[in-house]
Amino acid sequence: MTLLLSAKSERIVVIALLTLAAVLRIAAAVVLPDQSNVVDALAYRELAARLWSDGGIAGYYQMPLYPLLIAIVDPSIGQFSADIALSVVSVWLIYALADQLFSDQYARIFAMAAAACYPPLIFFSVVGLSETLFIALILAAFLCWYRARFTAAALFAVLAVLTRPVFDVFAPALVVFFALVVHRQSFKKAIQHLAVYVLVYCALMSLW
């Protein structure tokens, strides 16, 4: 017989794992050599400075959302704090996704523990690159898709595209897939969800 934790005990475990995730990322920020002079990290900070000076994005290869985040929170401590916070949020999102997929207490706790300690997630949270923001947005989009919250998923998915464009061509297909295959909705409903995605995409992309 499998022994399950009570709801209160599971909440304590979740808080403990989120705390562990934060501690590991803060420790990595202290221990790892300063990565702020990496070419891509410098490019993001230069774009953030340009946003403050004239409101424009000068880079041809960087999307605007991560430089905008840097401009809002300020480089250095503010940027690292935001990245660490986003990485910890990603740990919780993995927990929520595992619950959505498996509805099993041990599966979601194990997934959360693995994410809290996963070295690449820790590394990216302290190097000043856009991966951490992108991962958090993608996880949020998938969680919303699994929960049939297509409008919220569209918002997160388009924000992910505005962070890194690698997701651009796949998102519309995923909208249709989740509507037809995962949630067994009608073709008409799938087209409606796709139309909402297109509207959100056009609205947010037009700002850029």
SS3 annotation, the chain: CCCCCCHHHHHHHHHHHHHHHHHHHHHHHHHCCCCCCCHHHHHHHHHHHHHHHHCCCCCCCCCCHHHHHHHHHCCCHHHHHHHHHHHHHHHHHHHHHHHHHHCCHHHHHHHHHHHHHCHHHHHHCCCCCCHHHHHHHHHHHHHHHHCCCHHHHHHHHHHHHCCCHHHCCCHHHHHHHHHHHHCCCCHHHHHHHHHHHHHHHHHHHHHC
* pLDDT of res. 186: 96
How much of the chain exceeds pLDDT 90, in percent? 66
pLDDT-derived band at 204 (thresholds 50, 70, 90) equals very high
Q: What is the pLDDT of the chain when averaged over all its residues?
A: 90
Whether 130 shows a pLDDT value over 70: the answer reads yes
Tracing tokens 């985040």 back to the chain, one arrives at 69
91 within 8 A of 136, measured Cβ to Cβ: no
* pLDDT of res. 36: 62
